[in-house]
Amino acid sequence: MKDLKYYLKEVEEIFAKEVFVAEPKELYEPIEYTLRLGGKRIRPTLLLAADALFGGNIDEAKGAALGIETFHNFTLLHDDLMDRSPLRRGQPTVYCKWDENTAILSGDTMYALAWRYFLRQPSPRLHAILQCFNETGIEVCEGQQKDMNFERSSEVSIDDYMDMIRQKTAVLLAGALKIGALYAGAPDTEVEKLYSFGIHLGLAFQLQDDLLDGYGDTAVFGKKTGQDIRDNKKTYLPLRALQLCNAAQQNELQRLFATKDNMDEEEKVRRVMALYDEVGLKGEVEKAIADEFQKAARTLDDIQADEPLKLPLRELMDTLNGRKK
Amino acid sequence: MKDLKYYLKEVEEIFAKEVFVAEPKELYEPIEYTLRLGGKRIRPTLLLAADALFGGNIDEAKGAALGIETFHNFTLLHDDLMDRSPLRRGQPTVYCKWDENTAILSGDTMYALAWRYFLRQPSPRLHAILQCFNETGIEVCEGQQKDMNFERSSEVSIDDYMDMIRQKTAVLLAGALKIGALYAGAPDTEVEKLYSFGIHLGLAFQLQDDLLDGYGDTAVFGKKTGQDIRDNKKTYLPLRALQLCNAAQQNELQRLFATKDNMDEEEKVRRVMALYDEVGLKGEVEKAIADEFQKAARTLDDIQADEPLKLPLRELMDTLNGRKK
């Protein structure tokens, strides 16, 4: 039986075989560096598993698998530059290791390479596939802009936030699944269900990210918790906490998230976490995550396809559900 | 008879009709600003004229015309950021009017929008069209990288330079023509001739740019001449001059192009221009430009198509040939 590990191995082989080195080397070395850094390779794995779910020949979708991961890494490369993040996957980001212009132009080229990989293999549904890939890309850009807008806005609702993470994170998982299903020639109704499964999975994934920043086990999580608090980032945690707070607590939370450099950072993290605990935030967020995973599971149940072929998607869902980092 | 003006008007109408405003406005306002700034619209005009040259229905290629110009403006937007240029078409560049992150993300989104426009209208040859668009885009990125590399390199040959401007400038003109011809279903042999016409046209166009920087009439040119000299830019002018110089002149030219801030700028421009005049550079560059225009004209003559339909391409070539700015 082809399980999650099988598809992950297929994806690793696709990347191992591909040559990213080309001329001029100043352009392609950062690209190869980025694409060889690894990562969980969730999106191409979802794409291949979705193709197989509807009886597709995954060999025909391998270009798209490479393309979707290349696109994802392009967005990370530009995001790291925009956020001025020094590290990605424990290694220096391209803009730090090289410079800003290299990050801009190598990123642009990676986006073009993603298209090259998508165009490598024709398909009767290529037009729909490329449209899905492109509209997904536009949504990811819109999501990133909204994320940046939130940093400067004092009025962010939970709905705004969920819409932002849907665009910034969930649509790319959903798009990867949809593209895989399109390669297999799946019926429209099932394609849409799979897309919806991906959206719930993506929302759960992002909410977990937010939760881990506050409640992760530093030893397992691999980085210091509380970074979003130090950065005054309006993630799901403070937004949901505000709903659970009484007026006095709301004032304190808003005050803590408005401070910059005028309070000891660790003291600030402690006080925010204490407030979170007072209102029982952890359980509430866990409930929201469980809710999205449940919706994802039900949507997957509802898809008309061979049950054994759903195995890798269920495994991936379980892996993400249990993740501690 | 449909002349150059006719196709330019068609292109203006395509842009006038298109809505670039969308949410979030922080992302789309800079895009609309960029796409409404105007410019010569050479690439979409070439695309439509090439489509008509082989009997195509230009309505079917309008999405591609919009797409190629949107892509071109995306590259200008990111180039202006990388070059830290304050002005474009007499107006503040996006990175100056807004900020760096806005320039990065709006640029990325414009690239995705270019794909949306290309995907708007299906065509039996869509796969070849999209591949041409994408490979052209990759070459433009490679050309831009080479251009940046040259700034730091002391060993740039004329061949290196011609290869760089072919990628950075000429392939996009050639690609626009090829895409137009593909929409019309032109035979492969003629498509390749038209591509070659575009390469010569693009090389001539860029060499003219270099020449105008040194010898343009400031009143007509609209900007101060000698900027490439002030910036120590290794354009065709100094590279060709080096070939024409004797050893003593070579030394002086290399010394002048190595100086930074330790000589009065205007004095430097005067001395470089004096050297150029000593070796008769202007005539030599004009000869090289005329040579490319002649190759372009001969290639166009050789294309199997109705002569009257070649009119707009001849007019464009003549306009570019006579341009003073």
**Which residues, at least 6 apart from B162, have a Cβ–Cβ distance to it below 8 Å?**
B203
pLDDT at A239 over 80: yes
pLDDT tens for B231-241 read 889 999 999 99
Residues of chain B positioned with their CB less than 8 A from the CB of A108: 78, 107-108, 111, 141
Q: Is A105 on the interface with B (CB under 8 A)?
A: yes
Q: Which of A177-191, A213-227, B2-16, B76-90 has the lowest mean pLDDT?
A: A213-227
Q: How far apart are CA A52 and CA A32, in angstroms?
A: 29
Across the range A18-36, mean pLDDT stands at 97
Residue B258 has a pLDDT of 84
Across the range A218-239, mean pLDDT stands at 87
Q: For chain A, give the secondary structure using H, E and C.
A: CCCHHHHHHHHHHHHHHCCCCCCCHHHHHHHHHHHHCCCCCHHHHHHHHHHHHCCCCHHHHHHHHHHHHHHHHHHHHHHHHHHCCCEECCEECHHHHCCHHHHHHHHHHHHHHHHHHHHHCCCCCHHHHHHHHHHHHHHHHHHHHHHHHHHHCCCCCHHHHHHHHHHHHHHHHHHHHHHHHHHCCCCHHHHHHHHHHHHHHHHHHHHHHHHHHHHCCHHHHCCCCCHHHHCCCCCHHHHHHHHHCCHHHHHHHHHHHHCCCCCCHHHHHHHHHHHHHHCCHHHHHHHHHHHHHHHHHHHHHHCCCCHHHHHHHHHHHHHHHHCCC
**Closest-approach residue (CA) in chain A for B82:** A101
Nearest neighbour of A24 by CB, restricted to B108, B111, B146: B146
pLDDT at A219 over 80: no
Q: Which of A28, A78, A104, A166 to mutate to test the interface with B (most CBs of B within 10 A)?
A: A104
Residues of chain A positioned with their CB less than 8 A from the CB of B131: 119
Give A214→chain B minimum CA distance, Å.
Answer: 28
Residue A95 has a pLDDT of 96
pLDDT tens for A91-105 read 999 999 999 999 999
Chain A residues 121-160 with CB within 8 Å of chain B: 122, 126-127, 130-131, 134-135, 137-138, 141-142, 144-146, 148-149
Residues of chain B positioned with their CB less than 8 A from the CB of A31: none
Q: In this prediction, does ipTM exceed 0.90? A: yes
Dihedral over Cα of B151, B154, B158, B164: its sign: negative
Q: For chain A, what's the residue count? A: 325
* Average pLDDT of chain A, as a whole number: 95
- The confidence band for A154, taking pLDDT boundaries of 50, 70 and 90, is confident
Q: Is A108 on the interface with B (CB under 8 A)?
A: yes
With CA atoms as reference, report the closest residue to A51 among A315, A305, A319. A305
pLDDT at B325 over 80: no
Provide φ and ψ at B216, rounded to 5°. Answer: -65, 155
Residue B261 has a pLDDT of 63
Give B124→chain A minimum CA distance, Å.
Answer: 11
- The confidence band for B317, taking pLDDT boundaries of 50, 70 and 90, is very high
pLDDT tens for A244-285 read 999 999 999 999 988 766 678 899 999 999 999 999 999 999
Provide φ and ψ at B224, rounded to 5°. Answer: -65, 135
CB contact under 8 A, A24 and B81: no
Token reading at A111 = 């986006």
- The confidence band for A36, taking pLDDT boundaries of 50, 70 and 90, is very high
Residue A261 has a pLDDT of 63
CB contact under 8 A, B145 and A108: no
CB contact under 8 A, A78 and B148: no
Residue B223 has a pLDDT of 75
Q: How far apart are CA A17 and CA A5, in angstroms?
A: 18
Please report, for residues A115, A181, A200, A274, the alpha-carbon distance to residue A177 in angstroms, rounded to integers and kept in the order given.
Answer: 17, 6, 12, 40
Residue B262 has a pLDDT of 67
Helix B311-322, helix B42-53: angle, nearest 10: 150
Do residues B319 and B299 touch, judged by C-beta distance below 8 A?
Answer: no
DSSP 8-class letter at B212: H
CB contact under 8 A, B111 and A113: no
pLDDT at A324 over 90: no
pLDDT tens for B98-127 read 999 999 999 999 999 999 999 998 899 999
Residue A262 has a pLDDT of 67
Nearest neighbour of A134 by CB, restricted to B23, B82, B112: B112
pLDDT tens for B143-193 read 999 999 998 888 899 999 999 999 999 999 999 999 999 999 999 999 999
CB contact under 8 A, A134 and B126: no
Q: How far apart are CA B209 and CA B167, in angstroms?
A: 16
Residue B259 has a pLDDT of 72
Q: How far apart are CA B134 and CA B164, in angstroms?
A: 18
Helix (H) or strand (E) holding B92: strand B91-92
CB contact under 8 A, B116 and A135: yes
Residues of chain B positioned with their CB less than 8 A from the CB of A116: 134-135, 138
CB contact under 8 A, B108 and A112: no
Across the range B295-302, mean pLDDT stands at 98
With CA atoms as reference, report the closest residue to B242 among B325, B161, B126. B161
Token reading at B274 = 């004096």
Count of CB contacts below 8 A, A vs B? 99
Top-confidence residue, B282 or A220: B282
Is omega for the bond preceding A24 within 30 degrees of 0, making it cis? Answer: yes
Percent of chain A scoring above 70 in pLDDT = 99
- The confidence band for A76, taking pLDDT boundaries of 50, 70 and 90, is very high
Give A145→chain B minimum CA distance, Å.
Answer: 6
Q: How far apart are CA B234 and CA B254, in angstroms?
A: 11
Tokens 């962010």 — which residue? Answer: A156
Q: Which of A21, A108, A116, A146 to mutate to test the interface with B (most CBs of B within 10 A)?
A: A108
Across the range A110-123, mean pLDDT stands at 96
CB contact under 8 A, A126 and B131: no
Token reading at B67 = 């797409």
Residues of chain B positioned with their CB less than 8 A from the CB of A135: 116
pLDDT at B218 over 90: no
CB contact under 8 A, A105 and B82: yes
CB burial of residue A131 (10 Å; 0-12, 13-18, 19+): middle
Q: Which of B167-171, B217-221, B316-320 has the lowest mean pLDDT?
A: B217-221
Q: Is A57 on the interface with B (CB under 8 A)?
A: no
Nearest neighbour of B119 by CB, restricted to A26, A116, A131: A131
Tokens 């390779």 — which residue? Answer: A41
